[in-house]
Amino acid sequence: MFLKNQYVERDGIESPFFAGCLGIFGHGIVAGVGQGLSQNPDFRYYMTRNEQSSVHIAMAYAKMKNRLGTFACISSIGPGATNMVTGAACATINRLPVLIIPGDIFARRNVSPVLQQLESGASQDISVNDCFKPVSKYWDRINRPEQLIASLPEVMRVLTSPSETGAVTLSLPQDVQAEAFDFPDALFRKRVWKIPRPRPDIGHLHEAVSLLKASARPVIIAGGGVIYSGATGILQKFVEHTGIPVTETFAGKGSLPYNHPLNLGAAGVTGTPGANEITSGSDLVIGIGTRYSDFTTASKTAFQHPDVKFININITDFDSHKQGALALTGDARVCLEELNELVKDYQVAAEYKTRTTYLSKDWDEQVSKFYKVTGSLPVSQAEVVGTVNAFTGPRDVVLCAAGSLPGDLHKLWRTVDPKGFHLEYGYSTMGYECAAGIGAKMACPDREIYVMVGDGNYLMMNNEIVTAIQEGIKFTIVLLNNNGFASIGGLSQSIGSQRFGTKYRYRDKKTGSMTDEMLPVDFAQNARSLGAYVIEAYDVESLKAALAEAKKQTRTTVITIETDLYKGVPGYAWWEVAVAAVSDIDTVQKAYSEYVEKKKKQRYFL
Ligand SMILES: Cc1ncc(C[n+]2csc(CCOP(=O)(O)OP(=O)(O)O)c2C)c(N)n1
Ligand SMILES: [Mg+2]
C-alpha cells in the first residue's frame, strides 16, 4: 500500500517509483508480505528463479529509467536473503536504487532457533541479514510495526536521492510482518518525491572557469552521471563550442554519439589509443559523473602531465572530491549549463582539435578492421560484436556485464543513443546479463534488447530465461561460447600463470590434471529446455540470418555461436593486477619484473 503510492518527479514529469515486486516466497515472507501482495494485485508480483537475479532485474530497470524507478525485491529468511547480498553490492556500487526486503528471524525470540537461523553466542541481535549492512546505503530492521512510520520515509529519501542512492535494505522479521497496527492514514497517501538538480557552488564554478581558461589540453571523462542526469545534449553543446575532447567510461558510453568528431570513445584500461594519448598529456581533466574506478584511471597511470589538475562535476560530494579535484558538487546538466555560459570565449587550440578529430576517425577505421569478417572458424569475438552492432538499430540496447566482452564492447561498439549501451561494470557480476535483459525490456518495451553473454556468465545464471517466458518478455541473447574464460585466461597468461584453471575441460583421472578435451555442454539444448526459442549459428552469415530470425520472434530468443578463445582485441593501457613477487615459475618471474616497471607510472593526486 505504501510502496504503490510513492512517486517521483523530475523536470515536471511524474511517475510511480516502483514497477512492482520481484521475489521468491518462503516461510519467512509468504504469510506477512505475501498476504499483502496477494491483496494488492495492482502492485504486481513477479516470481523469479533466484533472489540475486531479482536484484539484477531491478537494477537493469533502474538503469534504463535513469534511476527514476525500480522494484522491491523480497525474499524469505536465510539463503533467500543472502542470495540478494551480491545483488545489493552490485546495485550500491553502480549507484542504482533497489529496495531489498528480506524476511528475518522472529523478533519475539521465544521459538528460536528457527529454521535457517544463524545463531550467535555473542548477541541475539544478529541474523544473516546483518550481511547487508556494508552493501546497503540504508539498512533497517523492523522489530515493532510502528517503526515503519519512521523507517519508510528514510527508505524513500535514500532510494530517490541521486547522490545517496543504492541498495536499501528493510529486514522484516517473520512475526512482525503478520502483526496489526493502527498506522496513520497519512502514511499511505500519495507522495511525490521531487528529484532536485542542485547547482554547484558559485565560487567553485568561477574557479573552474579560471582553471579551464588556463588549460591548453583539457579532456572530459564522461561517466554514468552524464546519462542519468540527461546531460548529453548540453555536453554536446559545451564541447562543440569549446572543442574539448570527450572520453567515456563504461557507464558513460553513449554520452556523445560514437561518430561525433570530438568523441575519442572508451576511456582507461579498455580505452581507445586516442583516448589514452589525449588523457595522458592532458593538463586539465574534467570528470563528469564518474567514480574514477581503476578501469577509468588505468590504475592511476592514465594521467601523466606533470601539472595535471582535475575538475569534477558530480552529484555526490564523495565523488566530486576524488583525484584532489576542484569539486563542482551538483547535477551534471545544470553544472554544465552554468559552466557553458561562463566560458563562451574559451576554445582549445586548432591543432589540439585537429588531433582529436584525427584520432577519433582513426579509431573508427580500426574498429572497421576488427569487425572485418575473415572467414576463419571459429569466428572471433570482434566479428560477432561487429555483426550484432551492424544489425542493430540506433535505439537498440546492447547489455553485458563480465568477461572479455565488456572490454571489447567498450572499445568497439558504435553507440548512437545515450541508452544504447548497458554495461554493469561497477561490480562486473557474472550472471547479471540474462536477468537484466528482463529489467531493461520492462523499462523500455519499445527498444530491442541484445544481451551479449559469454559461456561462463551464461552457466552462472541463465535461469531467468524461465521468468522471461513466464512474463512474455522478449529479448535476444547472443551466447558466445569459447569453452572457458577468455578474459581471466588472458589475464592469467599476462601475469605468467599460463591460463591455469580457466578452461572448461575434463580432468584426467590418472594424472589428476585437466585434459584438452572439451566438456560436452549443449548450450542450445540448455536454453531450449528453459523455454527459449533457440538458433544455432556458426559463422557470420548464419549469425546474420539468426539475428533476422530472432527479431521476428515474440519470445526470448537465444542465439548460440562458438568463438575463438584466443583471438582478442588488444589493450592500450595498463591495469594493475598484483603479480606474485616470489614464484617457481619463470613466466611469473618475468611478469613480476614487468609489473614493477609499470607501477612506476602510478601517481598520487593530492
Ligand atoms: C560472480 C563472479 N565470479 C567471478 C568473476 C571473475 N570473472 C570475471 S570474467 C570471468 C570469466 C567469464 O567467462 P565467460 O563468460 O566465458 O567470458 P570470457 O572470459 O570467455 O569472455 C570470471 C571468472 C566475476 N566477475 N564474477
Ligand atoms: Mg567464455
The full DSSP string for 215-271 is: -SSEEEEE-HHHHHTT-HHHHHHHHHHH---EEE-TTTTTSS-TT-TTEEEE-GGG-
Cβ 402 under 6 angstroms from ligand 1: yes
Listing DSSP states for 519-575 in one string gives P---HHHHHHHTT-EEEE--SHHHHHHHHHHHHH-SS-EEEEEEB-SS--PPP-S--
What's the 3-state SS for 274-319?
HHHHHHHHCCEEEEECCCCCHHHHCCCCCCCCCCCEEEEEECCHHH
Q: What is the pLDDT of residues 149-175, one digit of tens each?
A: 999 999 999 999 999 999 999 999 999
Cα 466 to chain center, whole Å?
A: 23
Task: Tell me the C-alpha distance between 205 and 210, whole Å.
Answer: 9
Phi and psi, residue 152, nearest 5°: -60, -40
Cβ 52 under 6 angstroms from ligand 1: no
The residue whose CA is least distant from atom 9 of ligand 1 is 403
Task: Tell me the C-alpha distance between 277 and 521, whole Å.
Answer: 43
Cβ(3)–Cβ(36) under 8 Å? no
Cβ 434 under 6 angstroms from ligand 1: no
What is residue 1's predicted lDDT score, i.e. its pLDDT?
85
What does the mean pLDDT of the chain come to?
Answer: 97
Cβ 487 under 6 angstroms from ligand 1: yes
Q: What is the pLDDT of residues 449-466, one digit of tens each?
A: 999 999 999 999 999 999
What is residue 155's predicted lDDT score, i.e. its pLDDT?
98
Top mutation candidate among 269, 379, 404, 412 for ligand 1, by most atoms within 8 Å of CB? 404
Element (H, E) at 588: helix 586-599
Closest CA to 553 of 488, 487, 477, 474: 474
Mapping DSSP to helix (H, G, I), strand (E, B) and coil, where does residue 171 land?
strand
Task: Tell me the C-alpha distance between 298 and 284, whole Å.
Answer: 17
- State mean pLDDT over 37-55: 97
Q: Which ligand is nearest to the CA of 381?
A: 1
Interval between CA 456 and ligand 2 midpoint (Å): 5
Task: Tell me the C-alpha distance between 286 and 217, whole Å.
Answer: 11
CA angle 500, 457, 138 (to 5 degrees): 110
What is residue 232's predicted lDDT score, i.e. its pLDDT?
98
CA separation, residue 297 to residues 93, 310, 314, 427, 603 (Å): 17, 12, 17, 16, 10
Q: What is the pTM of this model?
A: 0.98
- State mean pLDDT over 243-250: 98
In the chain, pLDDT over 70 holds for what percent of residues?
100
pLDDT over 90 (residue 322) = yes
Interval between CA 339 and ligand 1 midpoint (Å): 41
Cβ 452 under 6 angstroms from ligand 1: no
Atom of ligand 1 nearest to the CA of 453: 15
pLDDT over 90 (residue 272) = yes
Cβ 428 under 6 angstroms from ligand 1: yes
Q: Which ligand is nearest to the CA of 482?
A: 2
Cβ 486 under 6 angstroms from ligand 1: yes
Note the helical H segments in 405-539: 405-412, 432-443, 455-460, 464-471, 486-494, 523-529
Q: What is the pLDDT of residues 500-551, one digit of tens each?
A: 999 999 999 999 999 999 999 999 999 999 999 999 999 999 999 999 999 9
The residue whose CA is least distant from atom 3 of ligand 1 is 430
What is residue 470's predicted lDDT score, i.e. its pLDDT?
98
Cβ 488 under 6 angstroms from ligand 1: yes
Cross-strand pairs, 479: 453, 560
pLDDT over 90 (residue 238) = yes
In the chain, pLDDT over 90 holds for what percent of residues?
98
The residue whose CA is least distant from atom 5 of ligand 1 is 430
Cβ(539)–Cβ(382) under 8 Å? no
Name residue 284's amino acid. Answer: L
What is residue 497's predicted lDDT score, i.e. its pLDDT?
87
Cβ 406 under 6 angstroms from ligand 1: no
Q: What is the pLDDT of residues 427-439, one digit of tens each?
A: 999 999 999 999 9
The one-character DSSP state at 135 is G
Interval between CA 84 and ligand 1 midpoint (Å): 19
Interval between CA 480 and ligand 2 midpoint (Å): 7
pLDDT over 90 (residue 494) = no
Cβ(475)–Cβ(438) under 8 Å? yes
pLDDT over 90 (residue 124) = yes
What is residue 415's predicted lDDT score, i.e. its pLDDT?
98
Q: In this structure, what C-alpha cell is assigned to residue 446?
A: 519499445
Atom of ligand 1 nearest to the CA of 482: 20
Top mutation candidate among 430, 481, 504 for ligand 1, by most atoms within 8 Å of CB? 430
Interval between CA 386 and ligand 1 midpoint (Å): 21
- State mean pLDDT over 571-589: 95
The residue whose CA is least distant from atom 1 of ligand 1 is 430
